Structure 1
């Protein structure tokens, strides 16, 4: 990344660029290697991460959309992205899940995560959603970040996530009313 002052976005992705699957996979990889809570480990094969990124981009062309993506970029690289998945069943169509909040590790602590999360909330409201949920893992101080953004911790599953052979973390669920 070049100068962090020239980040564009967040932007809603309506028509994904042909390079978006690879750009999203690259961002997922950078965040994973830096220890981010992506659901992958540093030993996850690149092909697996790329396939997941391709699936997210493919979902953008579904009608109705199965996922919504908002991005922030710099030149031709993704600086950050948030992936929002609206509920699909009649009993949960009023809510959505923030599946990923990704910020390039070199751009952490500059407010980009907050901007993306706020943009996701505004977009969710535009979709008619009234609640959002997300889950993250313990051990990185993310609980404090989400609480500061108005998210409420709803529960923990101790040692539910295994990020390394001898490294288990709690899975933590948050919600936010819109």
Structure 2
């Protein structure tokens, strides 16, 4: 069952039906964010065919029940924000979820839409039985940890140089945590 909430100028839907229009909208979002310099698993420039396999993998996990999908749409119905929540499969870590592929379209950044997305992700995680926290990883060197800290997350780990975006350009892999209680 999809849950819908309006925050800022976006409408967020948890667990929407994934049809071809949504699939293509998510793909366009991921490409646009990457090509604008966003740190969402790729280094731009990328084409749709570069990103499509990663999206298919995540949507398959949604279909299988291992992930939940949150989609933010603007007033015209265009997909402009998203995030995936993945349950832990380890029996001792089921009380927290991972947030993956969290992104807001570049045209909607700087106006509070990112904070609205993070609040909607937290609400979605709270709706999941037994979930007390959200963890996410972010790429160092872009200041993302400061944005997440402003949303209530705290840095709980850092692996120096774990992300290689290009030869000679290694970035820290930063783990952030948001307690939900």
Partners in 2 of 1:20 and 1:59 — Cα distance? 16
Unaligned stretches of 5+ in structure 2?
A: 1-7
Partner of 2:30: 28
Contact 2:16 2:71 in 1 (8 A): no
Contact 1:14 1:60 in 2 (8 A): no
- Aligned to 1:60, the other structure's residue is in SS state helix
> Following TM superposition, by how much is the alpha carbon of 1:99 offset from its aligned partner in structure 2, in angstroms?
0.9
Partners in 2 of 1:138 and 1:25 — Cα distance? 24
> Following TM superposition, by how much is the alpha carbon of 1:7 offset from its aligned partner in structure 2, in angstroms?
4.4
Superposed CA offset, 1:4-52 (max 9, x none): xx94411113311222222212111111111111111115553231111
Partner of 2:72: 72
Contact 1:21 1:50 in 2 (8 A): no
Superposed CA offset, 1:61-109 (max 9, x none): 22xx111111111335311111111112211111100112100011111
> Following TM superposition, by how much is the alpha carbon of 1:57 offset from its aligned partner in structure 2, in angstroms?
2.1
- Report the TM-score when normalising by structure 2: 0.86
Unaligned stretches of 5+ in structure 1?
A: 1-5
Partner of 2:20: 18
Question: 1:122 aligned to 2:123?
Answer: yes
Partners in 2 of 1:22 and 1:78 — Cα distance? 9
Aligned Cα root-mean-square deviation (Å): 1.7
- Report the TM-score when normalising by structure 1: 0.88
2:142 to 119, 140, 143: 140
Count of paired positions? 171
1:92-171 matches, cutoff 5 A: 92-128=93-129, 129-171=131-173
Contact 2:41 2:101 in 1 (8 A): no
